[in-house]
Structure 1
Amino acid sequence: MRKLNSLLKYAKKYKKRYFIGIVFLIIVDFIQLIPPKILGHLTDSLSQGTANKEKITTAVVGILLIAAIMATCRFMWRIYINGTARFVEYDIRSKFFKHLQNLSTSFYNKNKTGDLMALATNDLNAVRMALGQGIIMFCDAVVLTVATLIIMLSINVKLTLIALIPLPFVAIISRKFGKSIHRKFTKVQSCFSKLTDIVQENFSGIRIVKSFVQEEKEYEKFLNENTNNFNANMEFIRVWGIFSPLIELIASLSFVILIAIGGRFVILGNISLGEFITFNMYLGNLVWPMMAMGWVINNLQRGYASLERIEEVLNTPPEIVDKYVDKIESLKGDIEIRDLTFLYPNTKVPALQNVSITIKKGETLGIVGRTGSSKTTLINLLLRLYNVESGKIKINGKDINKIPLKALRQNIGFVSQDPFLFSTTLAENINLAFDELDMDKVVEATKNADIYDNIIDFPEGFETMVGERGVTLSGGQKQRASIARALIKNPDILILDDCLSAVDAKTEVKILDNLNKIMRDKTSIIISHRISAVKEASQIIVLDEGKIVQNGTHEELKNQQGIYKEIYEKQQIEQAIMAEGEV
């Protein structure tokens, strides 16, 4: 009952629809109890020689009329019960997706995409079946069983009690197999999730798979997981394969008992032939609920197992939430970072240690450092993708934790080092931040990002469909389209996280010149491995192992002993070699 209540809590919103559906279902159950009575009376009339054309015609018309009413009512309960289960499925899927959107980055670091996809599809389908077919079978079994038993007892109490002997065994077997079905189905869903994850990962990284000639190796990995999925399903089928026929076998024993003892009752004159036939048909009505209980147990166990997996995600609270925030609409002002130390969850070594920076309004901060020096971590904290201690980061004098997330992220233009484009048109990708498409703004943003000429050269121009993750564009085009997407927001703060690495030096200079004009009264942060991208910044910091080891302007740092000078001199030599090669 606890499992049924867990499922039904999602159906409460539609209790009126379910009520209407159950009413039509009960009408069908009661109406289908009438034909056995009609056939019983007709049989007695035929055996006694009292039947005539009128009686037979009345019986036939009556049965046809009942069949028509049952067909109509069956249509209604399918619409109102199975249809409502679809409404519930829609609600849970919407709630699930919205909750996923609110969960923090760390959640996605621990949970695979394929597993989440399986929850939103396969598991949710099992929940729908439990709230559709499961409810139908449960109500059908209870109502039909009670109504049939009452009529059977009115015909012959002794014969009814004898025919019901197998019923307790059905209950015992259902209870025993129910736990096993739950365990096996949970394993099935888990294996399906892993299989989905492998498929999704391979399709997303198909170019890497092909370039490293890993097709056969990846196929073997898929084959192993597919085998696990197959074996889990076969284990579940074996349990269900034993359970269902066993219920049917026990139910069939009732017919054996009825034929053996009921036939003797007819010979002895305890019941008439018509009553025997009527009793036999009612017993057939009773066998279905006995078998249906097995299906009910299966549906509920599968639905509950899937709901547990879905609710595990739904019960995961978002780590990054608004709490005691102020009403803030603009981020124009200084950015202050004081003694910031940050550790990623479940780690002991700080990613950032005692970082202190002040960026004045209208200034540009350049961040340089070797790979793994936590440059991106600092940006993630400015975007509040992870929680920060109170007072460690302030924007325009306000603690970052007091700034509403929506206001914070709407006023920051962010371009990541791994630009992501959606499978839609270029215009819609660039206009992502807005509901209404303003082509004038889109065009202006693409010109500032120096991608306009590329776009108009495409046959479809701004209507060019971008493949999954921007696969149809070059690396430089993806980066510049992402920059345009950030610029169209006209942000108070612009953050470029090593997003100019795939463009040539000439294009880089042009983009940076445009940014200097656009962001003159606003704040910019540029992370780059190339000194050319940050040399015009108001100040530059050098990160190493999460610590600021150097701070100053380009002119100051290039003459200091340290990481910056090493990187600068190395890149100067590389540029000289390239220049000689061109000559």
Structure 2
Amino acid sequence: MTQQVKNLKNNILLNFVSENKITYLTGLTFMFLASSIQTLFPKILGNTIDLLKDEAYDRNRILWEIGLMLLISLFTFLFTYIWRMFIIGNARKFECTLREDLYKHFQTLSPEFYTKRKTGDLLAYAINDVLAVRMSLGPAAAQSINGIVICASSIYFMLTSVDFRLTLLTITPIPIVIFLIILIGKKIRLRFGTVQDLFGEISDRIQENIYGIRVVKAYVQEDQEIDKFQVLSSKMLDANIKMVKTSSLLTPIIEGCFSLSFVLSLVFGGHMVLSGQISVGNFVAFNTYLAMIMTPIVSIGRVINFFQRGVASLKRLEEIFRIPPSIFDSEAAIQGNIEGTIEFKNLTFSYPGMKKPALENLNLKIEKGKTIGVIGKTGSGKTTITNLLLKLYNVGPGQLYLDNIDINEYSLESIRNSISLVPQDTFLFSASIKDNIMSFKNIYSDDEIEAATKYSSIYENIANFPSGFDTILGERGVNLSGGQKQRVSIARAVIKNSSILILDDALSAVDSVTETHILNNFRTYRKEKTTLIISHRISAVSDCDEIVLLHNGKIYERGTHQELIEKGGLYDEIYAEQSEKHTEHCRECQ
């Protein structure tokens, strides 16, 4: 997998060009034809002017010359349209391919990557950076090649058809222009990189504020949030102004140099006309060629701007593509269903960058069909068990087994197809309730969907919505209560009917009556399958076949609810504390 990512990074552009070489060659051919034909126009125009000077001009010859100019214009239009369709069209295809490859790469990266990156930065990669690369590969590259051909052809005709001395004199400023463009272009690239970084920060700030709008309003933080955003916005403005100041130098420098070229042409070329060294037609053709050269040179400022932005963005994208997936299948990975037996053997695990183990010397075997409760205070390692079972993080060999086979020998697809998870941070998509329950897989009948919602005690709520199961949820299910979101998430896990079900503090937002009802349903529905109920509430695990109490990443106590109460240890203390709080809450309700 690491090698695949490396190859992707190194060859994505070359592979795309190779796959589309026919269209690229066709586009380049028509580009050369359009540019070459276009440069014939000034020469014919000059000839026509010289013919008109003669009072006894040949009318048919004049009409022939005019007809040639019309044909040149027609074919220039036609060939330009064709090459733009191929070259610019390919740039659009590459943009799509690059964005898809980036998205695929995001899917392969572990949670560790996302904990170190802001969402706004990732959005900037997928939108702004990909766009900048497309602009450099499409319009910028096309204008560059087209401009080179036009300039080369024009200078050739100026040298051979008019006068080489006048040509050399008038194009003297061009090398100065090119040198200044390269110098300024480097600064543009650096300043555009800064702009992109700040765009990521602004995107992240906006997204964070939208997601947390209830908290912002509840704690009257609107003014503080506005102040923070204004600081970021001011930084973005300053960075853009600096970039504009630099890029704005290009056009006046180019136009100034070409103004000098036209002055030289007017002074020395006019003298040559008056002295009879060149004809009026040649002088007009010469200045037309000079104008044709000026057009691509003037646009070179914008082209360099696009190229430098594209280079800066490509560098940022390459940094992402260089990050290899830390979790991937071995070549001989086992494909197939997992029955549900789980065993931890002396498992010790630390999160990357953390010195203290999240789990230490964990020994636990869960037989197929058993319901196990895992309880503990915050930071005790409960959720880490979920992360390792789903192989969101790598586990050392010989420490975690599924059906008596090392978890590292299974394919990721086999592991995750065999496990249903209801996470403590419930996530719902901006889609219908039905699509959220089905996970967008049209493989479930309406009866199965209805049964899943009844098991999770959300059916009646959904039935009361005006659109029922077709009700569209807001972003992250914002139009549902916390308890409703958890129960929809539970229905999503239930309908999957996996051999292993993990409830990771998935009942924290439901009331005790609903919690009891859901757990009773599970005892019937999950009778032959393995269930892990991870919670900080003893009421959620009290009826489990076995309860494991984690403390500082270790198994501190284990047994049935009654056994742990009779033992009088930490579990009993937590139970007493929660019972007391429940009693006080009931009194307040009365």
Provide TM-score, normalisation by structure 2: 0.95
CA contact (8 A) 2:420 2:501 kept: yes
1:532: how far off? 1.3
Structure 1 partner of 2:158: 152
CA contact (8 A) 1:542 1:551 kept: yes
Structure 2 partner of 1:521: 528
Q: 1:269 to 1:564 in 2, by over 3 A?
A: same
1:442: how far off? 0.8
Structure 2 partner of 1:436: 443
Q: Partners of 1:330 and 1:35 in 2: how far apart?
A: 72
Residue by residue, what CA displacement relative to the aligned partner does 1:263-306 show, whole Å, maximum 9, x if unpaired?
11111111111111111111111222333433332221111111
Q: What's the secondary structure of 2:566's corresponding residue?
A: coil
Q: 1:50 to 1:181 in 2, by over 3 A?
A: farther
Determine whether 1:352 maps to 2:359: yes
CA contact (8 A) 2:349 2:359 kept: yes
Aligned equivalent of 1:197, options 195, 199, 204: 204
- Counterparts of residues 12-27 of structure 1 (less than 5 Å): 12-27=18-33
Structure 2 partner of 1:85: 91
- Counterparts of residues 82-161 of structure 1 (less than 5 Å): 82-154=88-160, 155-161=162-168
Structure 2 partner of 1:290: 297
Determine whether 1:575 maps to 2:573: no
1:134: how far off? 1.4
Determine whether 1:167 maps to 2:174: yes
Residue by residue, what CA displacement relative to the aligned partner does 1:200-229 show, whole Å, maximum 9, x if unpaired?
111121122111111111111111111111
Moved more, 337-346 or 27-36: 27-36
Aligned equivalent of 1:452, options 438, 456, 459: 459
Residue by residue, what CA displacement relative to the aligned partner does 1:408-462 show, whole Å, maximum 9, x if unpaired?
0111010011111000000110001734342121111111111111111111110
1:333: how far off? 4.0
Q: Which runs of 5+ in 2 are unaligned?
A: 1-9
Q: Partners of 1:271 and 1:333 in 2: how far apart?
A: 93
Structure 2 partner of 1:406: 413
Q: Partners of 1:578 and 1:143 in 2: how far apart?
A: 82
Q: What's the secondary structure of 2:132's corresponding residue?
A: helix
Partner letter of residue 64 of structure 1?
L
1:64: how far off? 2.9
Residue by residue, what CA displacement relative to the aligned partner does 1:23-42 show, whole Å, maximum 9, x if unpaired?
22222211212221222112
1:5: how far off? 10
CA contact (8 A) 1:336 1:394 kept: yes
Q: 1:546 to 1:150 in 2, by over 3 A?
A: same
Structure 2 partner of 1:495: 502
Structure 2 partner of 1:462: 469
Moved more, 456-465 or 437-446: 437-446
Residue by residue, what CA displacement relative to the aligned partner does 1:91-141 show, whole Å, maximum 9, x if unpaired?
001111111011100110001111111111111111111111111111112
Q: 1:161 to 1:580 in 2, by over 3 A?
A: closer
Moved more, 49-58 or 243-252: 49-58
C-alpha RMSD over aligned residues: 1.8
Q: What's the secondary structure of 1:558's corresponding residue?
A: helix
Residue by residue, what CA displacement relative to the aligned partner does 1:289-330 show, whole Å, maximum 9, x if unpaired?
333433332221111111111121122111111114443422
Q: Partners of 1:7 and 1:307 in 2: how far apart?
A: 11
Aligned equivalent of 1:505, options 509, 512, 528: 512
CA contact (8 A) 2:193 2:313 kept: yes
Q: Partners of 1:575 and 1:164 in 2: how far apart?
A: 89
Aligned equivalent of 1:64, options 36, 46, 70: 70
Q: 1:7 to 1:523 in 2, by over 3 A?
A: closer
Q: What's the secondary structure of 2:249's corresponding residue?
A: helix
Aligned length: 580
Aligned equivalent of 2:47, options 41, 46, 60: 41
Q: Partners of 1:502 and 1:239 in 2: how far apart?
A: 55
CA contact (8 A) 1:450 1:511 kept: yes
Structure 1 partner of 2:349: 342
Aligned equivalent of 1:486, options 490, 493, 498: 493
Partner letter of residue 110 of structure 1?
K
Q: 1:8 to 1:433 in 2, by over 3 A?
A: closer
In percent, how many aligned pairs have the same letter?
Answer: 43
Moved more, 427-436 or 496-505: 427-436
Aligned equivalent of 2:235, options 223, 228, 248: 228
CA contact (8 A) 2:371 2:544 kept: yes
Q: Partners of 2:405 and 2:440 in 1: how far apart?
A: 24
Structure 2 partner of 1:259: 266
